[in-house]
């Protein structure tokens, strides 16, 4: 690969690694028993979609240390996408989301298979199977990482951070569950954002790539400053798209966060600016499962009236600026700095 960053070409490489790895794992699973075919199919499809940003951040953490192009590193970076796939399966299960990328989520797809097979209590069984698919994906992420072909001494450098990634991802998911249904609060929402998404999306992959390549402490500090700020901006953009994005492009229902009464910063900023009457109306909608397009239009109208989306946009812009400033201050090599600036735009200036 040339020094000019080609994200599309990189995605193709990562897609190939994941496809081959998961096809083989699905084959081994079905070899145990043919009845496992639907579970194997969910493994195959779980990581089929995505911008491969997490793998890209890991790759550029490695390249920023002066390390050369490496197929083994690309395999290690691809494991970050399996962490994401596991998190998505679990997140959709917890939220009871029905769509992801415009397709049925894992537990919904498995339920359809079980219903066709005449299985009693298909709903409960499908949720249990999806939970196990998510668990297996996380285990497979570790296996792909450790069998990537990188020297054992390199992999050992990232061992503690890999453990922190898993711990903090679980902590963030637990915090969201614990705060769901509570009084909207921006600081609480940002803490959920930080641990549930920001760290494992940017900071941890970037640092893992850097540690694999032997990053100096100063460069690690740069990665932390860039990664956390950009990761938060990424999720804030996701929250905006969740409510204001085009469902045909996002592949998700715009009312999911309202139905789930989830602790998003967008809802918290709306709540903070609302008067008692507006809060009462919002309270009457939060957590309801019978909301429709009319409710979505009304919620959007209120948020725009209170300028909540504009405040979230300013929060995104401030974090992107902080991230790019960190690159300038940290002695990041020019080719890595260019790529990481481009990735910052891909992560935050998006429509789905």
Domain edges within the chain: 1-48+71-149, 155-352
Stretch 100-128: mean pLDDT, rounded?
Answer: 93
Interval 265-281: pLDDT, tens: 999 999 999 999 999 99
Per the model's pLDDT, the better-predicted residue between 246 and 33 turns out to be 33
Please say whether the structural domain 155-352 has been given the CATH code 1.10.600.10: yes
Interval 13-39: pLDDT, tens: 999 999 999 999 999 999 999 999 999
**How much is the pLDDT for 2?**
44
Stretch 324-347: mean pLDDT, rounded?
Answer: 91
* Average pLDDT of the chain to the nearest whole number: 93
End-to-end alpha carbon distance in the chain: 28
Predicted TM-score (pTM) of the model is 0.94
Stretch 52-71: mean pLDDT, rounded?
Answer: 97
Q: Cα(65)–Cα(173) distance, rounded to whole angstroms?
A: 32
Q: Is 192 exposed, middle or buried (0-12, 13-18, 19+ CB in 10 A)?
A: buried
Q: Cα(313)–Cα(167) distance, rounded to whole angstroms?
A: 29
**How much is the pLDDT for 260?**
84
**How much is the pLDDT for 349?**
85
Stretch 95-113: mean pLDDT, rounded?
Answer: 91
**How much is the pLDDT for 250?**
65
Q: Cα(141)–Cα(336) distance, rounded to whole angstroms?
A: 25
Using alpha carbons, list the distances in angstroms from residue 280 to 95, 179, 283, 302. 24, 19, 5, 13
Using alpha carbons, list the distances in angstroms from residue 196 to 56, 191, 301. 19, 8, 28
Q: Which residues on neighbouring strands pair with residue 8, listed in sequence order?
A: none
**How much is the pLDDT for 329?**
77
pLDDT at 262 over 80: yes
For the beta carbon of residue 330, count every other beta carbon within 10 angstroms.
18
Stretch 191-215: mean pLDDT, rounded?
Answer: 97
**How much is the pLDDT for 1?**
41
The answer to whether 29 touches 36, Cβ cutoff 8 Å, is yes
Nearest one of 87, 32, 99 to 54, comparing CA atoms:
87
Helix (H, G, I), strand (E, B) or coil at 281: helix
Nearest one of 14, 11, 54, 50 to 199, comparing CA atoms:
54
Stretch 57-84: mean pLDDT, rounded?
Answer: 97
**How much is the pLDDT for 99?**
84
pLDDT at 257 over 90: no
Interval 219-235: pLDDT, tens: 999 999 999 999 999 99
pLDDT at 248 over 80: no
């Amino acid at each position: 690969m040339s020094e000019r960053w080609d994200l599309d070409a990189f995605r193709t490489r990562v897609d190939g690694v994941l496809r081959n790895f998961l096809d083989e794992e699905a084959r081994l699973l079905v070899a145990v028993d043919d009845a496992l075919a639907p579970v194997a199919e969910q493994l195959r499809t779980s990581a089929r979609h995505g911008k491969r940003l997490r793998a890209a951040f890991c790759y550029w953490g490695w390249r920023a240390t002066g390390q050369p192009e490496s197929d083994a590193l690309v395999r290690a970076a691809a494991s970050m996408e399996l962490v994401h796939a596991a998190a998505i399966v679990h997140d959709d299960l917890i939220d009871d989301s029905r769509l992801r990328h415009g397709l049925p989520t894992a537990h919904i797809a498995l339920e359809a298979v079980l219903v066709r097979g005449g299985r009693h209590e298909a709903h409960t069984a499908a949720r249990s199977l999806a939970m196990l698919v998510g668990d297996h994906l996380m285990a497979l992420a570790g296996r792909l990482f450790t069998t990537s072909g990188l020297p054992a001494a390199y992999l050992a450098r990232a061992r503690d951070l890999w453990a922190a990634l898993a711990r903090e991802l679980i902590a963030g998911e637990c915090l969201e569950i614990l705060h769901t249904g509570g009084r909207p609060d921006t600081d609480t929402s940002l803490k959920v954002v930080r641990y549930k998404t920001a760290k494992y999306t940017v900071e941890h992959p970037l640092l893992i790539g850097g540690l694999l390549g032997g990053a100096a402490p100063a460069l690690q500090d740069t990665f932390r400053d860039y990664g956390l700020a950009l990761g938060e901006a990424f999720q804030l953009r996701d929250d905006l798209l969740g409510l204001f994005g085009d469902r045909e492009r996002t592949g998700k229902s715009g009312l999911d966060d309202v139905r789930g009464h989830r602790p998003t910063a967008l809802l918290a900023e709306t709540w903070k600016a609302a008067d008692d009457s507006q809060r009462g109306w919002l309270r009457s909608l939060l957590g309801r499962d019978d909301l429709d397009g009319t409710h979505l239009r009304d919620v959007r109208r209120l948020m725009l009236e209170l300028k909540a989306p504009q405040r979230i946009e300013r929060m995104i812009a401030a974090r992107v600026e902080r991230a790019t400033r960190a690159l300038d201050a940290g002695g990041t090599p020019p080719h890595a700095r260019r790529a990481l600036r481009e990735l910052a735009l891909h992560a935050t200036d998006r429509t789905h």
